[in-house]
């Protein structure tokens, strides 16, 4: 028989709010943006007023840990589902301020019309209307007297029946006596089980990730500075996207501004680079994996809880050490020199815009590799080369696509055992074998996705190799990428559509070339046979129609750097499938030449 791994207990809302205020239940998200809009808060109060259920809350008790003196400490409960609802109640009923998604501190005021028994988001018009109580928090203030409120309202609204009015106000006040079911999960459950329970109970809500659990553990721990560490992670990610947020932190969060973290991220206020804008998941992955030599965030959650993997017990000393190590990892991540060097390495590989990066996890592991190589004392030039090669390899092979944790874990453990250089070189050589370049890569390039990693790497290769744009004499691919140029269909889209080809057929990446808008427009829907013949004539003295190239050798060089087969002037101009097959081979060969130069 399966043991029940949870308990369900109804508690009055008043009790829950008291527990939150006292710290009995920790709301990890309390310092993070409140994502509900004010109408959702209004609807929540209306549901309570009508006596409707508002769903279960889920709490997960931290494990009981062994303290240094040998005694045990019962872990506090962490609210993992219901944070928005509890925050909404604290905002509306207790008048607490909340952080918006823009990190502004605001008061959400919900108004109540006791005659119509309606709730509304307070606004200037309502505040001037005596039929509304502009802020229900006034009714829940400790010194609020219901009879006094009733008489004050009646004096401003003639003809109102005071008994009915008193009844409505009393009914509103009593919503804090409504019971909410609290599901308390056993402290020895693993993350997978907790996640599964969360999904089953709250299928309509956002799915929790292991990073969410880790952030909850961090924020709930004030003993080892987890609350400040949590803010450091959040603020860094926000600053990376919005540098002007710096002044808001400085003025609005003086406690954090005086912490050791704030000066370490101050450099972001002068940066408008969006090549790599990390999320808190990215920061946690890099900081944890590089510092702890593990790739699974569930292990971080266990370590922050104090789990000793050898004894299978929970110990305060382990939690203390884990918070210290994570803090070190986060500070390493935020370090301007480290971050700038990683960006420089990516750019030196041709990845000059955010659009070329694709998924974040290849960047994340490149950063891990960089930090580990530095820690091993690898020379700077060797670090740059190995990080460039690893990053491109991981993109071309989809190494961290999908769920990356198991591969992160495998790679970092092998790096720990064999060292960065030996392991990285071995993996690159094995993954990018001769058969990969000659057979697998051309085969994989049979795709219509313009954001496929193969096309992204191909464009980066063109940037790295200083190629000129298609049919451009002076404008480089790098300039075109930085200005988000057109992607030209070598066999024009309309021309192929008129022949009955589908989107997946005419949008093949082997049909794409980067070109200037005016050249793309000039070519229009002309058949390749027509416009390539005109290009030849242009190089023999005819009027310039497409770009500025007027020399036949220069034209051939331009077509070569764009991997366009020489036979385009002959049979291939009428053979679209044959053209695609030949061009994929040439594109793969170009990427191989580029890779050898990294």
Question: Which ranges constitute the DSSP H helices of 64-173?
Answer: 83-94, 124-128, 146-156, 162-173
Cβ contacts of 529 within 8 Å, gap of 6 or more: 573, 574
- Tell me the C-alpha distance between 470 and 459, whole Å: 12
Residue 147's pLDDT is 92
Classify each residue of 153-163 as buried b or exposed e, where b means 16 or more C-beta atoms within 10 Å of its C-beta.
beeeeeebeee
> DSSP letters along 319-352, please?
HHHHHHHHHHHHHHHH-HHHHHHHHHHHHHTT--
pTM (whole model) above 0.85: no
Instruction: Give the SS3 label for residue 64.
Output: coil
| DSSP output for 226-289 | HHHHHHHHHHHHHHHH-TTHHHHHHHH-HHHHTSSHHHHHGGGGG----S----HHHHHHHHHH
Residues 348-377 as b/e (b if ≥16 CB within 10 A, e otherwise) read: ebbbbbebbbbbbbbbbbbbbbbbbbbeee
SS3 439: helix
In the chain, where are the structural domains located? Answer: 6-201, 213-431, 442-597
Query: CB of 89 within 8 A of CB of 36?
Result: no
CA 462 to chain centre: 28
SS3 state of residue 118: strand
Buried b (16+ CB within 10 A) or exposed e, 395-421: bbbebbeeebbebbbebbebbeeeebb
Q: 188 burial class (0-12, 13-18, 19+ CB within 10 angstroms)?
A: exposed
User: Which pLDDT does position 87 carry in this prediction?
Assistant: 87
- One digit per residue, the tens of pLDDT, for the chain of length 598 reads 456 778 889 999 999 888 878 877 776 554 456 778 899 999 999 999 999 988 888 888 776 656 556 666 566 777 878 888 888 999 999 898 887 766 677 899 999 999 999 999 999 999 999 999 999 999 999 899 999 999 999 999 988 999 999 999 999 999 999 999 888 888 777 766 776 776 666 545 555 678 888 887 888 788 899 989 999 999 999 999 989 989 988 988 889 999 999 999 999 999 988 899 999 999 999 999 999 999 999 899 889 988 888 888 888 899 999 999 999 999 999 999 999 999 999 999 999 999 999 889 999 999 999 999 999 999 999 999 999 999 999 999 999 997 789 999 999 999 999 999 999 999 999 999 999 999 999 999 999 998 999 999 999 999 999 999 999 999 999 999 998 777 899 999 999 999 999 999 999 999 999 999 999 999 999 999 999 899 999 998 888 898 889 999 999 999 999 999 988 888 788 899 999 999 999 999 999 999 999 9
For residue 196, what are the contacts with CB-CB under 8 A and spacing of at least 6? Answer: none
CA separation for the pair 475, 464 (Å, rounded)? 14
Given this model, what pLDDT does residue 201 score?
64
Half-sphere exposure of 102 (CA within 13 A, CB side): 5
Rama region for 205: left / alpha / beta (φ>0; ψ in -120 to 50; rest) = beta
Are the CB atoms for 149 and 19 separated by under 8 Å?
no
What is the spatial distance between Cα 589 and Cα 563, in angstroms, rounded to a whole number?
A: 9
Contact (CB, 8 A) for 494 and 520: no
Handedness of CA 572, 577, 580, 582 (dihedral sign): negative
**CB-based contact 327:300 (threshold 8 Å):** no
| Angle made by CA atoms 226, 228, 231, in degrees to the nearest 5 | 110
pLDDT at 31: 46
CA distances from 510 to 505, 529, 565 (A): 10, 17, 11
Would you tell me the crossing angle of helices 280-292 and 210-220 to the nearest 10 degrees?
Answer: 80
Rounded (10°) angle between helices 210-220 and 297-304: 20
Cα–Cα distance measured from residue 534 to residue 545, given in angstroms and rounded to the nearest whole number: 8
CA pair distance 476, 116, nearest whole angstrom: 68
The dihedral built from the CA positions of residue 429, 435, 439 and 443, taken in this order, carries a sign that is negative
């Amino acid at each position: 028989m399966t043991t029940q791994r949870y308990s369900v207990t109804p508690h009055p809302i008043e009790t829950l709010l008291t527990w939150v205020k006292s710290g009995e239940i920790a709301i990890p998200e309390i310092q993070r943006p409140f994502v509900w809009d004010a109408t959702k808060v209004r609807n929540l109060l209306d549901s309570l007023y009508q006596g409707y259920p508002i769903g279960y809350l889920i709490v997960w008790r931290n494990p009981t840990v062994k303290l240094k003196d040998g005694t045990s400490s019962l872990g506090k409960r962490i609210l993992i589902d219901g944070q928005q609802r509890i925050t909404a109640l604290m905002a509306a009923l207790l008048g607490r301020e909340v952080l918006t998604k823009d990190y502004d501190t605001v008061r959400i005021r919900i108004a109540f019309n006791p005659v119509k028994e309606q709730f509304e988001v307070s606004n200037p018009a309502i505040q001037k209307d005596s039929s509304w109580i502009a802020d229900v928090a006034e009714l829940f203030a400790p010194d609020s007297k219901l009879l006094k409120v009733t008489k004050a309202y009646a004096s401003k609204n003639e003809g109102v029946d005071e008994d009915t009015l008193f009844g409505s106000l009393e009914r509103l006040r009593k919503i804090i006596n409504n019971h909410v079911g609290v599901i308390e999960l056993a402290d020895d459950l693993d993350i997978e089980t907790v996640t599964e329970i969360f999904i089953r109970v709250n299928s309509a809500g956002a799915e929790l990730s292991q990073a969410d659990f880790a952030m909850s553990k961090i924020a709930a721990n004030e003993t080892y500075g987890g609350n400040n560490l949590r803010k450091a992670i959040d603020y860094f990610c926000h600053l990376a996207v919005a540098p002007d947020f710096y002044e808001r932190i400085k003025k609005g969060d003086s406690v954090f501004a005086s912490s050791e973290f704030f000066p370490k991220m101050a450099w972001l206020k002068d940066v408008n680079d969006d090549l790599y804008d990390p999320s808190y998941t990215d920061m946690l992955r890099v900081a944890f994996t590089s510092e702890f030599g593990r790739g699974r965030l569930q292990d971080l959650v266990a370590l922050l809880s104090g789990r000793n993997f050898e004894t299978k017990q929970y110990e305060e000393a382990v939690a203390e050490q884990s918070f210290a190590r994570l803090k070190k990892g986060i500070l390493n991540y935020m370090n301007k020199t480290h971050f700038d060097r990683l960006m420089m390495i990516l750019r030196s590989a041709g990845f000059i815009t955010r659009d070329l990066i694709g998924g974040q996890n290849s960047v994340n592991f490149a950063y891990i590799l960089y930090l580990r190589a530095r820690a091993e004392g690898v020379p700077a030039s060797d670090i740059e080369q190995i990080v460039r090669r690893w990053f491109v390899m991981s993109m071309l092979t989809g190494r961290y696509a999908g769920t990356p944790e198991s591969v992160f874990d495998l790679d970092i453990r092998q790096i720990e055992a064999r060292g960065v250089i030996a392991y990285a070189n071995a993996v690159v050589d094995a993954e990018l074998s001769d058969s990969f370049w000659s057979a697998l890569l051309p085969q994989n390039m049979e795709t219509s996705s313009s954001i496929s990693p193969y096309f992204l790497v191909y464009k980066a290769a063109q940037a790295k190799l200083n190629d000129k744009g298609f049919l451009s004499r002076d404008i480089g691919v790098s300039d075109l990428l930085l200005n988000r140029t057109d992607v030209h269909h070598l066999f024009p889209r309309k021309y192929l559509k008129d022949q009955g080809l589908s989107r997946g057929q005419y949008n093949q990446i082997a049909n794409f070339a980067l070109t200037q808008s005016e050249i793309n427009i000039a070519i229009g829907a002309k058949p390749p046979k027509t416009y390539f013949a005109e290009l030849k004539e242009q190089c023999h003295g005819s009027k310039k129609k497409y770009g500025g190239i007027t020399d036949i050798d220069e034209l051939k060089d331009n077509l070569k750097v764009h991997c366009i087969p020489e036979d385009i002037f002959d049979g291939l101009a009428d053979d679209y499938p044959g053209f695609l097959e030949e061009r994929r081979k040439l594109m793969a060969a170009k990427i191989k030449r580029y890779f050898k130069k990294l």
